[in-house]
Each structure stands twice: as C-alpha cells, then as structure tokens.
Amino acid sequence: MISAIEMKITLQFSDEVRDALEHNKAVVALESTIISHGMPYPQNLEVADEVENVVREHGAVPATIAILDGVVHVGMSHDLLVSFAQRKNVMKCSRRDLALAVSGKLDGATTVAATMIIASLAGIKIFATGGIGGVHRNAESTFDVSADLTELGKTNVAVVSAGAKAILDLPKTLEYLETMGVPVIGFGTDFFPAFYTRSSGLKLSMTMNDPSAVAKFLKTKWDMGIDGGAIIANPIPESAELNPMEIETAISNAIQKSQEDGISGKELTPFLLRYLNDITAGKSQVANKALVLNNAAVASRIAIALSEL
Ligand code: PSU
Ligand code: MN
C-alpha cells in the first residue's frame, strides 16, 4: 500500500480501489476530462457511471481519477461523480497544470497525460479512455503536440483507446509515438483506428488478439526496464461506426471555425470536440459512448490478465 508519507502527497482512494490495490486485484484507471470537457451534463454523468459498471461487470475495479477542491481522488463514489459532473470552472489538467490544481485547491479534470501520472503514483497499470491527444493538423506551424504523447514516452501505464480523432494529424501522431518509443498495439486490427471509424488506413507494426498476449507484452517491456506507456488501439464496434465522409466534413468545418475564432493551446481540443458534437447533432456522442464502453471492457480483460501473471 502506498502511504501518503512515502508519496509526499495524499491520494484519496475509494474503498473499493484501496481494497483492490491491497489485494493485487485488477484495477482500471479512468480519466475525467471526458466528463468535464468531453460531454455535456447529464450525458457525461451517465457515461461516467456506465463505464465504471462495465469495468465491474468484467471483474475489475474502476478508478476514476479527478481533483476536487485540490484533493486527488483515485476512485470516486457515485455521489462524488454526481458532484464533479456538474461543477463549473473545472480546470483541464495535463502534466503542466496538475500542481496548480492541487496547490490552489481547485477542481481539476485529468487528461490522458495527467491520469497516467496519478495512476502510476497509485500503482495502476491499465487505463481506459476514448481517444488520446496527438499531433494537431498544421502542427508544423503551430507546434501543437499533445502532452499525452510525451507522457506515453515515459510513464509506465498502458492506455486502451479507440485510436485518435481525425481532428489530429494521424500519420504525424504515429511518427511522434515511434520517436518516443511508444508501442501501438492494434487489438484485433492491423490498422490504427480513427476513433469514429474503425480504420485510418495507417498500418500498425503490432497486432494482438487476446488480452493475455497484451499483458505478457507489457510485463516483458517493464521487466526489461523499458519505461513508458503503450497504446492498445481498440476500434469502435462496427455497429456504432460513423460515416467517414460525413465525419471528415464535420472535422474540416470544426478546424476552420477554430482558426477563425483564434482558438489555441489547451482550449483547442475541447473546442473541436464541442463543435463536432453540435454539428453531428448528437451522433458523435452516441458513437463516443459506445467506444468508451468497449475500451473499458478490453482494459478490464487486460488488467485481469496482468494481475494473474
Ligand atoms: N480526444 C478525444 N476526446 C477527449 C480528449 C481527446 O477524442 O476527451 C481529451 C483527453 O482527455 C486528452 C485531451 O488527454 O483531450 C488532450 O488534450 P490536449 O490536446 O490539449 O493535450
Ligand atoms: Mn495542445
């Protein structure tokens, strides 16, 4: 068990997460930016609850990570989720912002990067999300590369995601991950998934079809002292896939609008997500929910396989 003294900062564990970590049971970390900045209330709360339940149904324990009044929570009760999902002025926290949320006793939502940092402090190895941040289109002039990618290069947590949204430059994102030494494992696919659609057409160098192979790979990587995360790229279920042409048009419109409005920095990703939700009239949100639940299921199976090694 990690004590507050050893860690110098207190993590507030939920009872079920503390119990699971003490008994080496499977735990799946879940992020909170998707709750505060990814979907409106009350859909955000519904999805947060449902994702946790999918993890439990698969025999693992969910650990939603967020900061409330400066306290870092690892695992949240339903009541805390209800409160968090409705709070205004929640700060989107990536690596850069985490210490400010804690020292300033603020509310903070953790991105993929920040969730990896907290999960790693807590001793959680597997994390389920929707999509990761990446290299933005036009990054050659804006330099906008998500801190998710550098975090994946150094922190030992594996992230199950449905690839990355085509609001990003996906070929450049894969190149950057290769540079950072991050394995991208296609789960039952040879291609990098594009979030709303099952394939970006970009071929991956690794494919695995079962959770125990992934668990063995991760254990070997970390046993070899090769620090850093991995991406388990799990395509959206076929039944929930959106039309690629329709989504590409929506994305181009969203990017154009962000440029007209001069949006940059940490505001850009939430802006694009909100705009996409609006112009697809809710279709993107239905797909988003389906893929997050699917990722939570796969992450649970991998976490269980890892706990059995
Ligand atoms: N992409 C999505 N949905 C999301 C995010 C990204 O399709 O909710 C969120 C995640 O929390 C991710 C963050 O870590 O946005 C990346 O933000 P940025 O590009 O500012 O690093
Ligand atoms: Mn950015």
pLDDT tens-digit series, residues 160-177: 999 999 889 999 999 999
User: Within the chain, which residues score under 70 in pLDDT?
Assistant: 1-8
The pLDDT of residue 285 is 87
Q: CB neighbours (10 Å) of residue 106?
A: 17
Q: Catalytic site residue 154?
A: no
The pLDDT of residue 5 is 45
The pLDDT of residue 2 is 53
Rounded to an integer, what distance in angstroms lies between the CA atom of residue 301 and that of residue 280? 32
The pLDDT of residue 161 is 98
Catalytic one among 92, 165, 221, 266? 165
Whether residue 248 is contained in a domain is answered as: yes
On average, the pLDDT of the chain sits at 95
In terms of DSSP H, where are the helices of 61-194? Answer: 78-86, 98-103, 112-122, 139-142, 147-152, 170-179
Whether residue 4 is contained in a domain is answered as: no
- CA separation, residue 23 to residues 99, 121, 134, 242 (Å): 30, 17, 35, 41
Q: Catalytic site residue 165?
A: yes
What is the extent of the structural domain holding 254? Answer: 11-307
Residue found under tokens 């990618």: 149
Task: Tell me how far the alpha carbon of residue 239 lies from the centroid of ligand 2, in angstroms.
Answer: 31
Whether residue 110 is contained in a domain is answered as: yes
Q: Is 148 in the pocket of ligand 1 (CB under 6 A)?
A: yes
Catalytic one among 31, 52, 151, 241? 31
Question: Which atom of ligand 1 is least distant from the CA of 266?
Answer: 20
DSSP state of 265: G
**Which ligand is closest in space to the CA of residue 142?**
2
Q: Is 36 in the pocket of ligand 1 (CB under 6 A)?
A: no
Rounded to an integer, what distance in angstroms lies between the CA atom of residue 23 and that of residue 17? 10
Task: Tell me how far the alpha carbon of residue 162 lies from the centroid of ligand 2, in angstroms.
Answer: 19
Whether residue 6 is contained in a domain is answered as: no
- CATH classification of the domain holding 130: 3.40.1790.10
Whether residue 1 is contained in a domain is answered as: no
Taken in order 265, 271, 276, 279, is the CA torsion positive or negative? negative
Whether residue 2 is contained in a domain is answered as: no
Whether residue 135 is contained in a domain is answered as: yes
Q: Is 193 in the pocket of ligand 1 (CB under 6 A)?
A: no
Question: What's the total number of domains in the chain?
Answer: 1
Rounded to an integer, what distance in angstroms lies between the CA atom of residue 233 and that of residue 192? 7
pLDDT digits (tens, 9 = 90+) for 227-283: 999 999 999 999 999 999 999 999 999 999 999 999 999 999 889 988 988 888 788
Q: Is 136 in the pocket of ligand 1 (CB under 6 A)?
A: no
Q: Is 277 in the pocket of ligand 1 (CB under 6 A)?
A: no
Q: Is the whole-model pTM more than 0.85?
A: yes
Whether residue 174 is contained in a domain is answered as: yes
